[in-house]
Amino acid sequence: MEQLVQKIRNRYGYAWTVLRGLVKTDFKLRYQGSFLGIAWSVLKPLMMFCVMYVVFGKFLRMSDGTSTYPVVLLLGISSWQFVTESTNVGLRAVVDRGDLLRKVHFPNYIVVVSATIGALIGYAINLVVVLVFALISGVRLTWRVVLLPFNIVELYAVTLALTLLMATMYVYFRDIAHIWEVLQQLVLYSMPIIYPLTYVTDRGGWIADAARLELLNPFAQTIQDIRHNFIAPETQPTIWNQFGNWGVRLFPIALTVALLWLGIYLFRRNSRKFAEVM
């Protein structure tokens, strides 16, 4: 056992040290020069929540009619912000750190992972804020909270997979950043994040069936699972209570694993050429 631990340390010890240093540096520089500093990691989803709640909850009345809806909305926005922050920073990580990669020898994937971990730290802070709002709103936590780490790991895995894929493409095609800016808005409004899934499924018919298919999207599936296990297990539909077929239930997880494998494979295959291309 000791030999195995020592072997792991020898192989990944240096990479871990570099990763830890990059995460600290990136997190400090992210809000450097701003008056509120790290508080922006909380204020941004809160401001977006206020806008979305007024527009969709009050004017358009796209609400599930429960007292937990505002907290559920805030949790969904915070979760999606983690995805967008990870991908927006991570897809440029290799190019932005090009000088460092040419001067210091360490695995290229570390610069992408450090960007996603930096966003994950901000997400953890937001989850604490959501917890405070939930307790103030009278939300009663259930045993399902113990499942939350597994949901977050899945969300991180699919986010890392997408970030690795786009970081690889961005080295060759800078247009990826502009395309993703448009696509992420399309994905946001096509998923039950700013509107409750029940708003559509309660209408019945083929529209309800089509809406349930949104849960096959790993992002939608994990965010709904996080909402269900953290805040509102009684009102939040998930792939586990909307489909009885285990093949359908496990599809988003299988897709996440496949995307992560593809992202790692393509990134490692092209990483040796990054310095030449840049």
For residue 1, what pLDDT is reported?
57
For residue 110, what pLDDT is reported?
85
* Token digits of residue 257: 């694993």
For residue 73, what pLDDT is reported?
86
* SS3 state of residue 35: coil
Cα Dmax for the chain: 63
Whose tokens are 């500093």? That residue is 37
Torsion-angle region of residue 142: left (phi > 0), alpha (psi -120 to 50) or beta? Answer: beta
How many Å apart are CA 232 and CA 69, to the nearest integer?
A: 9
Length of the chain: 278
Whose tokens are 């539909």? That residue is 237
CA torsion sign for 64, 207, 179, 94 is positive
How many Å apart are CA 64 and CA 41, to the nearest integer?
A: 27
For residue 191, what pLDDT is reported?
85
Tens of pLDDT along the chain (278 residues) come to 555 555 556 565 666 677 777 777 776 666 665 555 566 666 677 777 776 666 666 665 666 667 778 888 888 888 998 999 999 988 988 887 766 666 666 678 888 888 899 889 889 888 888 888 888 888 888 889 999 999 999 999 999 999 999 999 998 888 888 899 889 988 888 888 888 887 777 766 777 777 788 889 999 999 999 999 998 888 888 899 888 889 889 999 999 999 999 999 999 888 777 666 66
For residue 134, what pLDDT is reported?
84
For residue 232, what pLDDT is reported?
81
pTM of the model: 0.87
Q: Between the CA of residue 274 and those of 96, 174, 191, 260, 277, what are the distances in Å?
A: 12, 13, 34, 20, 5
How many Å apart are CA 193 and CA 184, to the nearest integer?
A: 12
